[in-house]
């Protein structure tokens, strides 16, 4: 794992709250982008791979990861055997969060 600096805004903690508005706002915008992109593709095969990377996607609460995956499924389709990969900082998840993400279909992690 290659660590990088973290800038904590408004707090000295590097942990994110489950209801952090910065994360939920980002996910809302990401979903809008997915919906806008989908309009450019009339016919397409279901997605084979979803990669959550760049930064620390493991900081995103599983309920918001679920919203992204639900949007991808409804707008593009997602193969049942799709690879759903996530970059994870070992300091941002525990066994329960990993179990929750696996329940959403995450089947590959990169530390």
Full DSSP string of 70-100:
HHHHHHT-EEEEEEEEEE--GGG--HHHHHH
pLDDT at 12 exceeding the cut of 70: no
Confidence at residue 56, expressed as pLDDT on a 0 to 100 scale: 83
pLDDT given at position 10: 53
- What is the C-alpha to C-alpha distance for residues 98 and 36, in angstroms, rounded to an integer? 30
Q: What percent of the chain has pLDDT over 70?
A: 85
Which of 6-15, 58-67, 74-83, 85-94 is predicted with the least confidence, judged by mean pLDDT? 6-15
Return mean pLDDT, the chain.
Answer: 86
- What H or E segment, with its residue span, contains residue 48? strand 47-52
pLDDT reported for residue 92: 84
Map out the domains of the chain with their CATH numbers. Answer: 21-110 (3.40.50)
Q: Looking at the predicted structure, is the pLDDT value of residue 104 above 60?
A: yes
49's enclosing H/E stretch is: strand 47-52
- Where is pLDDT greater, at 3 or 83? 83
* pTM (2 d.p.): 0.83
pLDDT digits (tens, 9 = 90+) for 66-89: 999 999 999 999 999 999 999 998
């Amino acid at each position: 794992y290659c660590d990088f600096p973290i800038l904590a805004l408004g707090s000295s903690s590097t942990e994110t709250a489950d209801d952090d508005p910065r994360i939920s706002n980002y996910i809302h915008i990401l979903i809008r982008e997915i919906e806008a992109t989908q309009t450019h593709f009339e016919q397409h095969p279901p997605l084979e791979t979803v990669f959550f990377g760049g930064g620390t996607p493991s900081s995103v609460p599983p309920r918001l990861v679920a919203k992204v995956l639900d949007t991808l499924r409804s707008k593009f389709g997602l193969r049942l055997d799709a690879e759903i990969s996530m970059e994870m900082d070992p300091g941002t998840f525990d066994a329960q969060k990993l179990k929750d993400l696996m329940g959403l279909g995450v089947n590959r992690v990169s530390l």
